Amino acid sequence: MAEKESPLIQALPPESDYYTYLTIVEYNLSQESLPILHRVLQDETLTTNIGWDLVQLLVPYLPESEQCLHDIARLGNPREVILKATESLRLIEYSDAEGSDDGEQPVGPGATDARVRADSSTYPLKTAQTFGKGEGSGSTQAVELPPPLPLATSQFIYLLSMLSTLHGRIKTKNPSRFLSTTLQAILASFSNSATHREEMVRAIVPTVKAVAGAKGPTLPNRRSSGMLGRSPHLNINAPASDPEALEDSEVTPQERSMQRRLLQSFISHVVEEYLLNVPSTDDDVPGMAWSSRVMEKMHPERIIPETDTLTARFAKQEQYHRRIDAVGQLVTLAQDLNLTDEDLLAAAIAVEKMPERRGDDEDDPPSSADDIPLSRLGSLMLYTARQASSILYDASTLFTGPPFAIFPDHHELVKHCLSSPEQGTGTLGSEPEALIDAILALGIVTLEHDAIGEPASDEQFNEYLQTTALLSSNCPSPNLRGHAHYLTSTILRSHPDDAARLAFVKDTLEHCPFENLKVSAVGWVKGETIEANPPTVQSGSHQRDHTGSQGPASSSVFATPIALDSLSPFLFPSLQADLLTTPVHDAWITYLSNLSFYLASLNFLYLLLCAKHVHESLLVHDLWNNTDMAGSFLQPLRDASKRFLEAMERGGELVDEKSEEVLAEMNVLNDALERVTGAVKFLNA
């Protein structure tokens, strides 16, 4: 059909009224008619009257309908088109096909043969024309292009491009009313997506920059070729003015402040939504792995030789480097929007004053900047990203904020952003791994700055340690458990009062239900005892060091019998009731669940027996005899081992539990028992 015979040409007003013409466009819209519609929409009067009703008709035809949509953004009534564009954002359907392994993409009415060919097995190899240096003839070579985006993701990106143009056209005293609606729609749509979020972030950043009037280009990707070529083509023709603009549309300083706060709040919520929902992996990479990467940078001696570090994986592997690109864009944008460290910290702890607002919980437009909350968790992660970058990228001069210490600052963040131990030990550690990583990384960075601070009380000190200790026990990620243990141990050793340290260790051994945390507590006691009792030649109340100089004996409680006397009932408990008098199956469960604790206690006892220089100062001989360790702790372990082995024989209650691994673990415990028994002779030497 010739262009002049097209109904879109023949029915142009004044041949029909605008409503009738809109109906004709709807019934004749097709891939073939899009170029004609593009030319028709160059009429500003026509586009102003019908453009807003065409948005939802054209979105399913993306990317082929891109030019028409930008015609509408450039020439349509911006107030009406914004409403339709935001409504279209909410209607985007992010199907499961986006993340399927076979790469199958949803195909809408706008799908073309080119898109189908792109989805075929021959993609992404395309033939491109190249030219050699100094030669006029061309040659062809295979060029690898990024795979096509899902239709839903493309729709999101193109609609944001429209909104960038539209918000620049609105001239009103209260543009924040339109901005609030737009940002809520973007966040709601982003929250509904499951894949290709890095590409969506890359579309969000220039949109916010355009609305905010920020100068400077969007940062390019460092390596992620999969994110290249995603920006939609923008119509370079100048947009029309706002047809409803008032003569007096000067924006007040209060309105500008509210717009800025809206954008700051929006970015904080995008950061939360993105990081708390990064895809989980099977190789223990929690969120941005800030904790591990900071530790690898500051303590390379802790890296296991010939292992692939997380720093290297984030630098080399595409899926992790895309995270760095996305978060880097958002952190830089927050800085451009003058989002200060003070703002972020205040938002992270002011839970009651600044209640959380989700993308699907849309209230009326705010009346002032003070009514606009930042995301609590997004603010925490933005602040952590800044602090981590000061170490990872030697960017300490980029961010200057208020002093930050473990006490009281990090303690307040832990208390407000993680589940409190008082809420039940089963909850703490089940938070998103990216959140736990951010909390721990911030604590590690603060330790590296030697900013522990001063706890207001022993209760505050214990509350902090209880939380981090429970994280070291409950968190599913081995990486995060290790970092939580490091943080707990370092903070515990930092307390100048050894009595306070002893009280926390005793409380852990006595009341903690987690076996791995009790093992840590045994390690803390062992470390304190070794440090307080160096191998020196003792004389009365003084001791000589290896140089022969004489000095006062250690004043630590761990250099006296008091510590071991108070801890021995929990370090070396009586086990007869638990392992010998209960039914064999129940006893077996108790034995298995506490096996690591038994081994840790036996190894510590072996150290006490072999270290002759502590026998007198710690009264190890009296401890051994008065507490009946041999009869109440060691012998029940021996008898229980025999009991379980007999029950594993044919016809026994534990026959299904027998395996080479189980027998090996029992042998390790039995060997430890023999070593302890053999070391008793040193008490009488």
Q: What is the pLDDT of residues 51-101, one digit of tens each?
A: 999 999 999 999 999 999 999 999 999 999 999 999 999 999 997 545 444
pLDDT reported for residue 96: 59
CA geometry: angle 452, 454, 457, nearest 5 deg: 130
pLDDT reported for residue 400: 60
Q: Give the percent of the chain with pLDDT over 70.
A: 81
pLDDT reported for residue 222: 47
Closest CA to 497 of 558, 545, 449: 558
pLDDT reported for residue 282: 78
Q: What is the pLDDT of residues 639-658, one digit of tens each?
A: 999 999 999 998 889 999 99
pLDDT reported for residue 370: 87
Q: What is the mean predicted confidence (pLDDT) over 2-15? A: 86
Residue 239: pLDDT band with limits 50, 70, 90: confident
Of 112 and 299, the structure prediction assigns the larger pLDDT to 299
Cβ pair 292, 310 in contact under 8 A: yes
Q: What is the pLDDT of residues 478-505, one digit of tens each?
A: 999 999 999 999 999 999 999 999 999 9
- Could you tell me the pTM of the whole model? 0.85
Torsion angle of C-alpha atoms 302, 304, 307, 311, degrees rounded to 10: 0
pLDDT reported for residue 402: 79
Cβ pair 399, 301 in contact under 8 A: no
Range name among 262-276, 278-292, 433-447, 568-582 with the lowest pLDDT average: 278-292
Q: How many CB atoms lie within 10 A of CB 9?
A: 14
Q: How many CB atoms lie within 10 A of CB 522?
A: 24
Fill in the amino acid letter for 556: S
For residue 47, count CB atoms less than 10 angstroms from its CB and return exposed for 0-12, middle for 13-18, buried for 19 or more. Answer: buried
Q: What is the pLDDT of residues 210-219, one digit of tens each?
A: 998 755 455 5
Fill in the amino acid letter for 605: L
Q: What is the DSSP string of 433-496?
A: HHHHHHHHHHHHHHHHTT--B--SSHHHHHHHHHHHHHHHHH-S-HHHHHHHHHHHHHHHHH-S
Average pLDDT, the chain: 84
Stated length of the chain: 685
